[in-house]
A and B are shown apart, each in its own frame.
Chain A
Amino acid sequence: MENSQDISGGSKTGNENILEIRNLTKQFGKQGEIVAVDSLSLDVKKGEVFGFVGPNGAGKTTTMKMLIGLLEPTGGIGKVAGFDIVREIINIRKVTGVLPEPAGFYDNLTARQNLRFYAKLYNIEAGIREKRIVELLDMVGLNGAIDQKIGGFSTGMRKRFGLAQALINEPEILFLDEPTSGIDPKGAQMMRGLIKQLSRENDVTVFLSSHSMSEVEEICNRIAVIEKGKLLAVGTVEELQDMVREKEGVQYILEISDISLQDAVEKLSEIDGVFETRIRDGVLHVHADTGMRFEIAKSIKLLGGTVSRFEEDRMDLQKVFLKLIES
């Protein structure tokens, strides 16, 4: 079980990792036949908004559970804010905020009473506590519903309340499991705005899971793609795109004049590294390896054509995501 790789202890400085896992594994079932998380290794840096993305059943929730000590890993090790995920669970929970999925609150209590209860679990001094409750509910846009019972909240309000609940202890790291699932696009947009704001203003590291690549693309600095418990890729949006481009090639869009498009197609097809060239709506779509831009331009010039537009078709991340999963 012990991992031979050394991981550094938690530190608050600059680019240090606030979360590190090595070969984290979780198996379910009598003989461990269900491998929910498979040798997962990750580092999350302090201050990041880290996206954990994968289709349903990929193992996101299971991973999060292990990180906050609700599940014991079958194998591997992990540290959150410098605390061991097996032995120092309470310490981890003191410095983390979690919005689980599904999340329920006490419907018979008001938003304020709910938060007060959670605050008591951290033994926060009453004066500070009451102030913070108001601030948090204000921040998540529930200031009008502060003394309303949670039972009457909409799904969107609940999610936002859940966010406030996760922030009650001023956590260093926030775990958000599918924070926008089940709510309408407007609500989801509001949630994303809140997360961005949090990251900007409150100096908190966010570890969020989602099955939507577009969502993580919008708010995350770095993304990990997970499928069937395995990590497929980690990096910034650009890094992931590069990674795909590296593997899959790039789509170029060319507008040319002075020569026939058909000639251009024939010419380009002869070039090594160009996989496919098609004409669509009077423009050329060229699928080629990265770094073929110059070769393509040269070939058009040689034919006597003039390139009036030469763009790389930016792949949206959802496509990248699907590509990653397909491969």
Chain B
Amino acid sequence: MFIKQNFKKLGIALILIILLTLPPASADWSSVTVITSITGKVVLPGDTVEFPITIEKGHNNSDEAWCSLSIKDKSDGWSAGFYNDGDQVTGLTFPEDKNSSKKITLRVKPPINTPNGAYAIWADFKPDDGDTISQEFVVNVDSEAVLDLDIYSDMPGLETRPNDPVEFYVTLENDYDHRVTASINVAEKPDSWDVEFLEEGNGKYRITKTSIAANDKQNFIVKVRPSTNVSDGTYPVIVDVALENSQIGVSQQLDLTINRGIEEEKMLTIFPESKSINLNPGSSREIVVNLRNSGDRTLNNVELKIQGVSGITTFVRSFGAIDELEPGESREIPVEIKVRADASPDTKEILMRAVSDEAESEDERVEVSVVKSSSGGFIGIGMIIGALLLLVFIVSKFGRR
């Protein structure tokens, strides 16, 4: 579900909040003072709303004091409680010093099926000495209200080739006046595609949860690798962000268009020294293959892979993989191509590809034409004629009686 931001509604909500804001509730006499800056808020059914409350000890009291906190009245099925630094509290203790104060939060959560309307919640602050202070908080449940969590992507549509991963940058914004924790999930994706959420900073760590401070935002990467066999078209990938402790959340659709026609941009490129060579059966040739990091990231474990063909053996003359190949750096790898002695005269193609942890190069083809050696053939004929001449000589010289 994609919720559009509605500034108008937000404006109305803000005005309502200001109207509902009342001066601090105060009992005729009490050892504590309860100051509430906001006593009314708009909320989505199922979302949580928080009211900040400051409790101060009386001016002329230097004794130790305490205050118990309780909800006197609330609608059925609602949950409400007091929290201090994330912990639920039912009472507060004040030291002997003068003028100490404490900040607590009243957290209220209407059930998800609450009809629209204004609901009152009465909270009782009962000090050890003096009258109980009752304070009303109004929660305006509005299913049309805007969730204070926002998700968006500056570039929600990208185009790529099959199997080539793309990275969407997605921003998550917390408009609450408190910190939220949310879990990130894939709500929808085509089968056999890989989707992962990566931390923006290093692009490496996978994210499952995120926690954002009040009125702050966070970027993360949605890396999508489409399957190899996917056909051209646009496919949605929906990312779901759900607030912890509530069923509700936001989602963002990212559209990935698969287009085989687009020019592939390669991080890793290979250039064989020659693309077609002639070899005699039984002989071999060394060609140099140039591996280059043409991307802008370091590539790890770069290796040249060669697909064999019958009749031809290849040896990559290097010590395993290249650990790191810096952007712009290139490496020359000698490859020996050996044609089996019994290979038929024919043109064969060797496929080679450079692979690394991050990227793969395009396949390069080296044509190997197996041509019978004419000199070898002549020498062969010579050897056979020689052998026969030897035999004829021996038979004629010694074989007769």
Contact = CB atoms under 8 A, between A and B. Distances in A.
Contacts of A109: 401
A116 B400 CA distance: 11
Query: How would you classify the secondary structure of chain B's contact residues: helix, strand, loop or mixed?
Result: loop
Q: How large is the interface on B (under 10, 10 to 19, 20 to 34, 35 or more residues)?
A: under 10
Nearest to B401: A113
A113 B399 CA distance: 12
A117 interface: yes
A116 B401 CA distance: 7
A209 B144 CA distance: 148
Contacts of B401: 109, 113, 116-117
Interface in B373-401: 401
Contacts of A117: 401
A168 to B, nearest CB: 15
Contacts of A116: 401
Interface in A94-142: 109, 113, 116-117
A14 B401 CA distance: 40
Interface string B215-236: 0000000000000000000000
A109 B399 CA distance: 13
A126 to B, nearest CB: 12
Interface in A154-200: none
A243 to B, nearest CB: 51
A55 to B, nearest CB: 41
A113 B401 CA distance: 6
A146 to B, nearest CB: 13
Contacts of A113: 401
Interface in B90-142: none
Nearest to A108: B401
Nearest to A116: B401
B143 to A, nearest CB: 120
A31 B301 CA distance: 93
B352 to A, nearest CB: 66
B395 to A, nearest CB: 15
A117 B401 CA distance: 7
Nearest to A114: B401
B400 to A, nearest CB: 9
A297 to B, nearest CB: 70
A320 to B, nearest CB: 48
A136 B358 CA distance: 100
A151 to B, nearest CB: 14
4 contacts: A109-B401, A113-B401, A116-B401, A117-B401
Interface of A: 109, 113, 116-117
Which 4 pairs between the two chains have the least Cβ-Cβ distance? A113-B401, A109-B401, A116-B401, A117-B401
